[in-house]
Amino acid sequence: MTTTRLALLLAAALTLPTLTVTTASAQSAMPEVRVSMNQTVISSQLRSAMQLEQRAIAKLNDPRAYETIEDITPLMYRAYVLIRAAREGMLLVKEGKKFVDPLLEYEITQTTRAWDLARGPVDWTYNNMERGQYIAASNQNLAGVVAILEAVLEVMP
């Protein structure tokens, strides 16, 4: 029993540096997204997220999408993170206001809807969903995200 424990500890010690290197390289490939109350930053985050979702839709509609789902997932995840950060920035702006701003309320509500839709394709990647079904559902959700973000960006100052 002691040799089994020793073998497990040795295996864990050998794999730990590999996990750390992989995590560090994955994090360095994706720049950090910060929450900001600056309206220009928020609209830039939403615009970038919309562009990433449009690229993901184009790649999903490519006949090789069955082979390249792993290349599309980072685009969708990055868009999700940007939408989440923009939404948080909007909520911080709302907290700082003395009076209710109906336009800001609309922006927050719609951005929350886009955030919810953007999360689906990211989560489904890790489920056992058939690829054809995944591509169809993701296309539908991402198209909804793009439409919502376009509407939000039109009313943003």
In this prediction, residues 33-41 reach a mean pLDDT of 95
| DSSP-assigned letter for residue 128 | T
In the chain, where the domains are located: 1-30, 36-155
Domain 36-155: state its class: mainly alpha
What pLDDT shows up at residue 123? 85
Return d(Cα 74, Cα 42) in angstroms, integer: 21
What pLDDT shows up at residue 147? 98
Which is higher by pLDDT, 17 or 100?
100
Tell the burial category of 137 from Cβ atoms under 10 Å away from its Cβ (0-12, 13-18, 19+): middle
Q: Residue 95 corresponds to which tokens in the numbers above?
A: 């907290």
Return d(Cα 20, Cα 36) in angstroms, integer: 29
pLDDT, tens only, 43-56: 999 999 999 999 99
Q: Among 1-5, 50-54, 153-157, which is the least confidently predicted range? A: 1-5
Return d(Cα 143, Cα 126) in angstroms, integer: 21
